[in-house]
Structure 1
Amino acid sequence: MQKNLHLICMLFFSQIHVLVGFKHIIKHSISYSVSKTKTVFMSNENIDFLTKYKYYFKKDNYNNVINDIIDHKVSKIYLDKKMNEIITLDNEGDDDIEKDIVSNSNYDYNYNYDHYHIASVNPVLIPNVIEKSSETRTPIIIADLRPGFIVNTENGFNFISNSVSFIIPFLLISSIFSFIRRSINANNMMNGQGFKPTIQSGSGQRNQPNFLNSFMPPMPQNKGGDQLQKSNITLANWAGSPEVIEECREVISYIENKELFNKMGAEMPKGILLEGPPGTGKTLLAKAIAGETNSTFIAISGSEFVELFVGMGASRVRELFQNARNNNPCIIFIDEIDAVARQRGAGINMANDEREQTLNQLLYEMDGFNSNENIVVIAATNRRDVLDQAILRPGRFDRIIRVSLPDKESREKIIDYYFKNKNIEDNFDISAIAEMTEGFSGAQIKNLINEAIILSARNKYTKLQEEYIFEAFEKSIVGLIRKNATVDFATQKRVAIHESGHSILTLLYNDTFDFKKASIQPTYNGAGGYTLFSEKPEIRNGGLYTKDVLKKRLIVSMGGKAAEAIFYGNDYVSLGAVEDLRQANKLAKRMIGNFGMGNQLEVFFNEDVSDDSNPFLGRSLSMGDKYSDHTKFMMDKESLELVQNAYNTAVDILKKNYGSLIYFSDLLMNNTVIYKKDIDYL
């Protein structure tokens, strides 16, 4: 390979030398011939008349020009610098004609332009022209016969060309040095020297004694060494599901009692995948495992493997694991691993070679020929469905721990944990707050408490007030309230009727729902008002929602539109029900497509309904449109029937309770906000 490359280079440079040599032969022959005759070099000002009026000169050919020179009929020869054009002045012409042409700005038919002859010639024949003019002692004037704007444009291009011809060799040399430097680093890695973190100097610059850095751009540095740390967090700092904690303790026991398990023939898990929604404490769990086992902790994000230079992702994986081997026992934590370990060959860009090379290197390091003794890889993701199947197999990620949203008991522990070291009132009902925050993650609960503390401090309180917990919760659900908004009476009345429809239906279904609050205060999210309610705790905690419960939720969702239709008439229903319609139709589609709650599609499951995926996020396009037109028609038909029946039921119920609807709307008009305690009092 090296010999072939050497031969190619020699052939390439030999061709260049041939071309350059031919050019020099012509140039020197012309120079030698010109030196024999009387030659005058003219300035651009003296040849303006030629460049301007040469198109009026008499056209001639090469043979006639040579014959005129030999016959002494030519008094002067103008030779273009490009050696491809000749202008001759015959003996009958004189300088007065030339002067008149220069002084006159326009073409004049009185002048005899025929004394000038112009001919285009092959540059190879120019030496012969010069030789003949030398024999006849005919003066030659070498000049640039092109118009001035063309000359200026060419000069600009020549400058750019010369600049590029200087920059390209410099970049080529820099690339060669860069390749040599990376090869040296790779050899050091193979020799076991590993990655050495750079030293931070006082001025903020990295100390790099290598002389190549004085003129080369710095290569990307490994980030793993900078994040080498010892964790002081334990499982006591994580408040959540006891089952998850038990799984983690089992992993810790493997690491701490490795010899015991090895005697029994058990192998320590090489990888643990923590999967779950964002904010559930996956990173905290990884730090806790490292802290409990007194292991070195290296944290890195999956996106940090993505680099500008090809091959740097795989190189970073090698350096990361080498760094872990040099500091074992070690726990490597890769956050958001789906950024680098997505399914290969999926998505729009089927040829993402750089990411796939990084993934292949990660697969090799986790279960390859290198020894990973006393190294555990923990990864976190909330998109397990997009991960490559090769990384999920046993031997790489042996344990997959699902970190779900906390239940009520776990939420109470989380709230109690975040209340520690906080100035709070003594009469807090933690159970009520935990019940209210159904569906919240640990991060959301932390943010809720922080928002409540900010609201309390803003209102000059020195302790956290319980009312601001509920205000912060409401803000997170419906958005910022427009307390000082000026709304006209008619609009306020319409909003009151709309929210009363939702509220009355919620109160009538009191065996299924808990009414929380109704308000006609507008929000910055665009809502004119809102009604807060939830399912009964026993329904939520079980998680097994029945068709009856979901149909009642549809009826409550259509209550606002139904109330407006009853009070104002069908032709005067407003746009306020748009969001209600969106939520109702979405729920109905899931009931038919996912939950098997249709009349004719009782056993049908549509994967596309709950699939919020997007090809750009890494899912395969092969799923496609795999259902027949009849099946899709039936699903749409039954979904619409569910929503239509819910609307008709809401209208019938509100007509029977029209007095309660009007009474509740009047209460809202007078009080703006109605809480559950107000309803209990009434």
Structure 2
Amino acid sequence: MNVRNLAIWGAIALLVIGMAVAMGGSSEADSAKKAKLSEIYALIDSGQVAEATLGDQQIVVTTTDNRKLVSELRGLDMETQGVLVKEGVPFSVDADSGRNNFASLIFSILPILLIVGFVFFMMRQMQGGGGRGAMSFGKSRARLLTEKHGRVTFDDVAGVDEAKEELQEIVEFLQDPSKFQRLGGKIPKGALLVGPPGTGKTLLARAVAGEAGVPFFTISGSDFVEMFVGVGASRVRDMFEQAKRSAPCIIFIDEIDAVGRSRGAGLGGGNDEREQTLNQLLVEMDGFEANEGIILVAATNRPDVLDPALLRPGRFDRQITVGNPDIIGREKILRVHMRNVPLAKDVDSKTIARGTPGFSGADLANLVNEAALLAARRGKRVVAMAEFEDAKDKVLMGPERRSMVMSEKEKELTAWHEAGHAIVAMIVPSADPVHKATIIPRGRALGMVMQLPEDDKLSMSKIEMTSRLAIMMGGRVAEELKFGHDNVTAGAASDIQQATRLARAMVTRWGFADNIGPVDYGSDQGDVFLGQQLMQSSHVSEDTSRKIEEEVRKLIQTGMDEARRIMTDSRDKWEAIAEGLLEYETLSGEEIAELLKGNKPTRPDLSDDDSGPAPAVPVIGKRRKPKGDAGLGDTEPNPA
């Protein structure tokens, strides 16, 4: 039993004992009626007293008719004893009975004191460790980042050069403010790091702390929010008071959208705890009192939900976008994460970077870690290019499920389905190259065709979108052509879902439908929690909705017709890919090209002579959702 539980049970035991003593400590005088001493003497003289009890300060008598009377005495009165002896009244002497009233008072107060102490103790325990008690609700939970947390510098951050330059200027301002002040420049009050998850926003903030050499306080946006109204605002005040004592310093608020969401959404009460916290944060950042030397750095991946007052100059003077890295950035990030990994001679970070478009920094860290784990599992001393390729497939498509039992019929159906995706992807214009096709179950998919772009893409043309629709519908068309309309399976469910989403976006958002025109009909898909969707009335008429559905259906049907034409005209190539998948289960893009030339794939020997125990590598990052064309049975794919 730990100390906390022991203290709780001890308090309960004291409470029970105190109540018992208080109840049992009362004397018979408590139930007796008060009387004058002369009245007691008169009753004794008249023979109406059956017995008596003499105390230090009182006498209690019981009359012959069972009445109890009590009167005060001055000590053990010998005169009274004499009267009782003379009249033949039996009596007893109790020297402590006079103190019973005082003991009763003490023991009646003791339970109350125990209850108050017990409640106070529990409130301290509910507040957790770190010395925070019941009276410290409003204290800031910001932690001062020190060297023991691991010093991070800009050398540890790669792939976000522009963001580093913006933050480097803040670091220089903290180190040498006169360099900017002599030209009239003022130190920025805040910098907001904006970008998707895993791009290194928090890592950048830690690098600023490592470079600046000033106190660095870190806190999460959710740490301000509490069930008690006013606590969040109090914590904001305390945080800035703490920062003022350490100025110049940096405060970093991670996930600021937890406390900085837009006010006045029209839902619920306006005077809630979160809004009070945000109001106090706005005042501290740019109010009547200047917080000189305090720079606020915040990070979020939801800038669209932040309150406009939070984003104006004077509060967050700079909004720094931290996006996914390009091919050069990915190569630099890979080199950072490969520092402590023993690599084989065939590992080329540039080749890996070219094959990982759209990867964030966290994805690349996870890729390197998965490759190291694969090499360790295979008993190798170094990590080779083969491990990086296998790790990339695992991250993109999910882990293989070779233990899953598939019947020959399902295997054949999956092969023709995926071959349909592959042949369409290889023939339609402006399509990304096929990276790999497999009928080995991966993740939640029974099979998959994955495409990877040759270069980083920032936009998509209409011809690329229509080609994408044909590729998505290729699996469904393949089942229909090979096995007949009545034998088409539900394996194309996710293909149809993705195609519908793409076609609807083409019509309602990007203006690719002639009958609809370049009008945005998807603008009222606002977030309900902001009150946008509830406060907007639908501006799409019934006739327009019907036209939108017709255009969406037309685009998908056109994609199916194109896929059917390709598979009909190139049936021999389609069949070659399907038979190759049945034989080899997994084919790379190069192997598919060799099959179409009539050559059998040559599989390299993956055994490594340089085997042995591999170094331990820590797990980094999280697994990425599967990415690629939908395959048979793929219940939740991501479009490539």
Give the AA of the match of 1:281: G
Distance 2:271 2:533 in 1: 14
Q: Give yes or no for contact 1:386–1:618 (8 Å, CA) kept in 2.
A: no
Give the AA of the match of 2:235: R
Distance 1:350 1:625 in 2: 26
Give the AA of the match of 2:494: E
Q: 1:638 aligns with which of 539, 542, 551?
A: 551
Q: Which residue pairs with 2:482 in the alignment?
A: 567
Distance 2:415 2:142 in 1: 61
Q: Report the alpha carbon displacement of residue 644 of structure 1 after superposing the two structures with TM.
A: 0.9
Q: Give yes or no for contact 2:140–2:238 (8 Å, CA) kept in 1.
A: no
Distance 1:206 1:564 in 2: 64
Q: Report the alpha carbon displacement of residue 499 of structure 1 after superposing the two structures with TM.
A: 0.5
Which has the higher mean CA deviation after the structures are superposed, 295-304 or 253-262? 253-262
Q: Cα deviations across residues 567-595 of structure 1 (Å, max 9, x unaligned)?
A: 11222211111111011111111112222
Distance 1:292 1:363 in 2: 27
Distance 1:336 1:545 in 2: 31
Give the AA of the match of 2:468: R
Q: Which residue pairs with 1:234 in the alignment?
A: 153
Distance change (3 Å), C-alpha of 1:206 and 1:587: closer
Q: Cα deviations across residues 463-514 of structure 1 (Å, max 9, x unaligned)?
A: 1132222222222222221113221111111111101101111122375321
User: Which structure would you say has the larger RCO, counting Cα contacts within 8 Å and 6 or more residues apart?
Assistant: 2
Q: Give yes or no for contact 1:347–1:619 (8 Å, CA) kept in 2.
A: no
Q: Give yes or no for contact 2:209–2:216 (8 Å, CA) kept in 1.
A: yes
Q: Report the alpha carbon displacement of residue 168 of structure 1 after superposing the two structures with TM.
A: 13
Q: Report the alpha carbon displacement of residue 604 of structure 1 after superposing the two structures with TM.
A: 1.3
Q: Cα deviations across residues 246-266 of structure 1 (Å, max 9, x unaligned)?
A: 222233333334224333222
Describe the SS at the equivalent of 1:621.
helix
Describe the SS at the equivalent of 1:535.
coil
Matches within 5 A, 1:189-588: 217=134, 219-220=136-137, 222-224=139-141, 226-229=143-146, 232-346=151-265, 348-351=267-270, 353-509=272-428, 512-525=431-444, 527-537=445-455, 540-541=456-457, 543-588=458-503
Q: Which residue pairs with 1:615 in the alignment?
A: 528
TM-score (norm 2): 0.70
Give the AA of the match of 1:529: G
Q: Which residue pairs with 1:23 in the alignment?
A: none
Q: Which residue pairs with 2:585 in the alignment?
A: 672
Q: Which residue pairs with 1:653 in the alignment?
A: 566
Query: Structure 1: which 4+ aligned runs deviate by more than 4 Å?
Result: 166-175, 204-208, 617-620
Describe the SS at the equivalent of 1:486.
coil
Q: Give yes or no for contact 1:279–1:441 (8 Å, CA) kept in 2.
A: yes
Gaps of 5+ in 2: 1-32, 34-110, 598-640
Give the AA of the match of 1:598: A
Q: Which residue pairs with 1:603 in the alignment?
A: 518
Q: Which residue pairs with 1:160 in the alignment?
A: none
Q: 2:541 aligns with which of 628, 632, 648?
A: 628
Distance 1:639 1:352 in 2: 45
Give the AA of the match of 1:654: M
Describe the SS at the equivalent of 1:600.
coil
Distance change (3 Å), C-alpha of 1:348 and 1:433: farther
Matches within 5 A, 1:34-73: none
Q: Which residue pairs with 1:99 in the alignment?
A: none
Q: Give yes or no for contact 2:324–2:359 (8 Å, CA) kept in 1.
A: yes
Distance 2:533 2:265 in 1: 5
Distance 1:556 1:225 in 2: 51
Q: Report the alpha carbon displacement of residue 173 of structure 1 after superposing the two structures with TM.
A: 13
Matches within 5 A, 1:10-159: none
Distance change (3 Å), C-alpha of 1:632 and 1:352: farther
Distance 2:171 2:435 in 1: 44
Describe the SS at the equivalent of 1:400.
strand
Distance 1:645 1:350 in 2: 50
Say how many residue pairs are matched. 481
Distance 1:470 1:351 in 2: 53
Distance 1:168 1:383 in 2: 51
Q: Cα deviations across residues 608-661 of structure 1 (Å, max 9, x unaligned)?
A: 48x5x6424776632442332233322222122111110111111111112222
Distance change (3 Å), C-alpha of 1:258 and 1:367: same
TM-score (norm 1): 0.66
Distance 1:478 1:168 in 2: 65
Q: Give yes or no for contact 2:225–2:274 (8 Å, CA) kept in 1.
A: yes
Give the AA of the match of 1:328: A
Which has the higher mean CA deviation after the structures are superposed, 666-675 or 294-303? 666-675
Describe the SS at the equivalent of 2:297.
strand
Gaps of 5+ in 1: 1-27, 29-165, 182-197, 199-203
Q: Give yes or no for contact 1:512–1:536 (8 Å, CA) kept in 2.
A: no
Q: Give yes or no for contact 1:235–1:292 (8 Å, CA) kept in 2.
A: yes
Give the AA of the match of 1:264: L
Q: Give yes or no for contact 1:348–1:615 (8 Å, CA) kept in 2.
A: no
Q: Give yes or no for contact 1:347–1:621 (8 Å, CA) kept in 2.
A: no
Distance 2:129 2:469 in 1: 62
Distance 1:662 1:325 in 2: 73
Q: 1:590 aligns with which of 505, 509, 513?
A: 505
Q: Which residue pairs with 1:9 in the alignment?
A: none
Describe the SS at the equivalent of 2:518.
coil
Describe the SS at the equivalent of 2:191.
strand
Distance change (3 Å), C-alpha of 1:584 and 1:262: same
- From the CA coordinates, give the structure whose radius of gyration is larger: 1
Which has the higher mean CA deviation after the structures are superposed, 298-307 or 420-429? 420-429
Distance change (3 Å), C-alpha of 1:598 and 1:205: closer
Q: Report the alpha carbon displacement of residue 347 of structure 1 after superposing the two structures with TM.
A: 7.1
Distance 1:614 1:171 in 2: 47
Q: Cα deviations across residues 390-427 of structure 1 (Å, max 9, x unaligned)?
A: 11111101100111111111001000111112111121
Q: Give yes or no for contact 1:227–1:300 (8 Å, CA) kept in 2.
A: no
Distance change (3 Å), C-alpha of 1:620 and 1:594: closer
Describe the SS at the equivalent of 2:146.
strand
Q: Cα deviations across residues 512-563 of structure 1 (Å, max 9, x unaligned)?
A: 32111111112341x22111113342xx44x232101111111111100111
Q: Give yes or no for contact 1:329–1:374 (8 Å, CA) kept in 2.
A: yes
Distance 1:168 1:633 in 2: 74
Distance 1:279 1:487 in 2: 36
